[in-house]
Amino acid sequence: MTTAEPGSASRARIAARMAATVPGLGETAVQRILVTAKVDRGRALHEVDACLQEHPGALTAALAEYPLALVRLAHELIEAGYQTVAAPACARCGKTTIDLRRKASASAPPNAGHSGPKRDWAAYIAQRTTDGET
């Protein structure tokens, strides 16, 4: 009996969702973009998988909550010429940049920097696993 590579089900779901929502995106391009965006394994893979399962149109519509890995994935798709992809924007200022992450420090005011995702995607994934979902 052989075991599947860790994350293979998540990669397959992400690839299928990307192909379904991004016109002209082939399997080779999907795999290349997942690697380039660093969404091909680990936490990033599972966060994007969970996000796309909950919000199948997340690549083409701006979400209020998203994992940072989705930001990287969206920007890689846009850079590759897939213009139907919506780049996630800062919840505070609306700026569209790949540099969306929390930038708070003790000396910075609460509104400094760009706000990152609001949902704790790691906790969400852990809860889904505890509830028996995959």
Assigned domain for 69 exists: yes
Residue 90 lies inside a defined structural domain of this protein: yes
pLDDT tens figures, 45-60: 999 999 999 999 999 9
pLDDT, one tens digit per residue, over 70-117 is 989 999 999 999 989 988 776 667 666 666 554 433 333 444 444 444
Domain that holds residue 61: 8-129
Name the domain count of the chain. 1
In a domain, 106, yes or no: yes
Tell me the C-alpha distance between 100 and 70, whole Å: 11
**Is 2 part of a structural domain of the chain?**
no
The verdict on residue 134 lying in a domain is no
pLDDT of residue 29: 94
Q: How far apart are CA 61 and CA 112, in angstroms?
A: 25
Whether pTM > 0.85 for this model: the answer is: no
